[in-house]
Structure 1
Amino acid sequence: MREISLDRLRTLVAIADCGSFADAARALHLAPPTISLHIADLEERFGAPLLSRKRGQVRPSAVGETLVKYARRLLAEAEQALQDVKRQVEGKGGRVRLGASTGAIANLLPRALELLALHHPGIDLQIAVLTSQETLARLKSGALDVGLVALPQQATDGLTIKRWRRDPVMAFMPAGWKCPARVTPQWLAVRPLILNDSSTRFSRLTAEWFASGGQHPVPRIQLNFTDAIRSLVAAGYGAALLPQEAVAPVQDPRIAMRPLRPALWRELGIAHSAEDIDRPTQHVLDALWSLRLR
């Protein structure tokens, strides 16, 4: 069976609502012969009469009633689709897919979400917890629209990667420890450690920091969830190296935080398609850029 035109279904519904071909023609601003042609086409396709005339009024047949029920649903969904697409084109709604690490999600993304909810409440931001390499791969394949990635990254065809934030890495230790004013690799390496999973770029960054002091410590545990790491530090399980964002929540009194010597920085970038960006994605980018640190 050939595809059925929505115009013909709209005509059938109008006749069912109006009770006559003439009234349906006026409601749809169509000529009466066009109305008749639409119904004849539908009846030919289904091989059954869709309308019956009784006492001067046109009513759907039993088969027609079934088709009218589905036609109303299809027309409503088509209209909703048009409205949703129009809102997305205008930047008033739509879905944006973003990939980021747990560290960025924990403290940075909530601020961006607040701005989106305030200025663009119709945008649905879908967030995936991914490593930087996973994020870049999905951006390249078109499965993501925006990514927050650790820097530096190699240039990737089809993608734009720009520096977003530069946050200091700090030592987080149980408050009961006697901590120096600045923590060195030599001092920290002999303590029980909670470090990031070795698959992450941040893990490689901290390993290089320890190596600068001739240290190669074996952590007590490795995981990739910032809040879980903080909780373990607060419980006295060990020390951790974590970025300290300016937007981070108030420090837990059970945790002592100290700067590092030598200083260490975690840099993040924003990655997205180098092609034209739709308005919802641009609104998300604008919210993220508002949190930029030099």
Structure 2
Amino acid sequence: MKATPHQLLCFQAVAETGSFSAAARRLGLSQPALSRTVRLLEEALGARLFDRNTRNVALTPVGAELRPIAERLGAEFGGAYGELARFVAGGRGRVTVAALPSIAAVLLPAAIAALAADRPDVEVLIADALSGPVLDAVRDGRAEIGLTVQPPPSAQLDYRPLLSDAFGLVCRDDDPLAARDGPAWSVFAQRPFVAMAPASSVRLMTDAVFLQAGLAVTPLFQCAFLGTAGRLVAAGLGITALPRLTLPLAAPPGLAWRPLARPATRRQMGIVTRANRSLSPAAAVLLDLIVAEARRAASLSEADGP
């Protein structure tokens, strides 16, 4: 004995209207199609559900017993379908974003605030990490969206460029270097240098520039966190090179940032997702908001870039 949700819906419409023609109009069906659906339900149950005559339709005892069951199942199905519809529309769900701390701090707060204002039932989990763990989280399915520097080509990951960020000299605002227009990378060979941790995207890029320029730069300090590097510079213990968008995390009051030249260098950043995998609807909505926020941040970086 099996009854489909559609059969129960048709039965309930006839029971409520007391008429096959009225029920057919309510459901947008032809009357023969409705009658056939009810007949199939009766055959599945092995009992008549309606007593019919030329003037009206009345429930049989079996039909009267089925009616509250059909109403309950219809309400449960409607509620479940409504939840599914909310999920499909991006109004419900959980999204995990793995991101470099600097990108997370700049792009995610405004994007998540916009998401929460329109879709308060979407939960967002942020996993801020270095570039390698960000890629691993997306590759393993622990995060739907990754925000990081451009990775090497991979059959497992899709990369979408988002924005580029100019590198600049960070020094105290009373340092003579702060008055220079477009300082060269060679200044780091002449002054104590505050470096980021070896596995960080910033460190990989600064080391590459030093190698390309033939500069022998030995860090006096190495820091895992941008805030620590900024505090060391603020204390007069050295200078450093950081992308413009890291400054909200790195720069306490009293620091200056000047775009570096010779060579002008930018950090390319973007969105990483799993190849050949669809995003959840809520993740797709959040991704659009991140892209919009990135456009705003990019204009800020380019205004200060070399």
Structure-2 residue corresponding to 1:170: 168
Q: Residues 136-175 of structure 1: matches in 2 within 5 Å?
A: 136-151=135-150, 153-175=151-173
How far apart are residue 80 of structure 1 and its match?
9.2
- Relative to structure 1, is the Cα distance of residues 207 and 247 closer, same or farther in structure 2, using a 3 angstrom cutoff? closer
| Pair 88,264 (structure 1): closer, same or farther in 2 beyond 3 Å | same
What amino acid is the match of 2:159? I
Residue of 256, 279, 282 corresponding to 1:280: 282
Post-superposition offset of 1:240: 1.7
Is residue 223–residue 229 contact of structure 1 (8 Å, CA) maintained in 2?
A: yes
Any idea what SS the aligned residue of 1:232 has? helix
Task: After TM superposition, give the deviation of residue 26 of structure 1 in Å.
Answer: 5.7
Matches within 5 A, 1:221-236: 221-236=221-236
The sequence identity of aligned pairs, in percent, is 25
Report the residue type matching 1:266 in the other structure: R
Match of 1:206 in 2: 206
The partner residue of 1:28 within 58, 64, 69 is 69
AA partner of residue 138 (structure 2)? L
Supply the AA of the counterpart residue of 1:145: E
State the one-letter code of the partner of 1:159.
L
- Give the drift of 1:209: 1.7
Q: Is the 8 A contact 2:88 2:281 kept in 1?
A: yes
Question: 1:111 aligns to what?
Answer: 110
d(CA) in 1 for partners of 2:214 and 2:118? 50
- Alpha-carbon distance, 1:174 to partner: 1.3
Distance of 2:122 and 2:233 partners within structure 1:
37
User: Structure 2 CA distance, aligned partners of 1:191 and 1:219?
Assistant: 10
Q: Which amino acid aligns with 2:101?
A: T
Structure with greater proportional helix content: 2
Structure 1: where are the runs of 5+ without partners? 1-22, 31-75
CA distance in 2 between partners of 1:186 and 1:91 (Å): 50
Cα RMSD (Å): 3.1
Q: Quote the residue 2:291 is aligned against.
A: 289
User: 1:133 Cα deviation (Å)?
Assistant: 2.0
Alignment of 1:204-283 (within 5 A): 204-245=204-245, 253-261=253-261, 262-273=263-274, 274-283=276-285
The whole-number CA distance in structure 1 between the counterparts of 2:246 and 2:221 is: 27
Give 1:272 shift.
1.0
Contact conserved, 2:231 with 2:252, CA < 8 A, in 1?
A: no
Per the normalisation by structure 1, the TM-score is 0.67
Between 1:282-291 and 1:193-202, the stretch displaced more is 193-202
Residues 122-131 or 106-115, more deviating: 106-115
Q: CA deviation at 1:212?
A: 3.2
Secondary structure, aligned partner of 1:231: helix
- Structure 2: distance between partners of 1:278 and 1:101: 22
TM-score for the superposition, normalised by structure 2: 0.64
Distance 1:272 1:240 in 2: 32
Q: C-alpha distance in 2, partners of 1:132/1:91?
A: 28
Unaligned 5+ segments in structure 2 are 1-63, 300-306
Contact preservation (8 Å) 1:97, 1:144: yes
**Residues 24 and 110 of structure 1: is their aligned pair in 2 closer, same or farther, counting only changes over 3 Å?**
same
Within 2, Cα distance between the matches of 1:95 and 1:247? 30
Report the equivalent of 2:17.
none
Q: SS in structure 1 opposite 2:95?
A: strand
- Conserved 8 A contact 2:149-2:201: yes
Equivalent residue, structure 1, for 2:13:
none
Give the aligned length.
226
Deviation per CA, 1:209-256: give whole Å up to 9, x if none: 22233223222222232233223322323212111139959x755112
SS at match of 1:242: strand
Q: What residue number does 2:47 align with?
A: none
Counterparts of 2:246 and 2:136 in 1: how far apart (Å)? 29
Give secondary structure in 1 for the equivalent of 2:208: helix
**Deviation (angstroms), 1:24:** 8.7
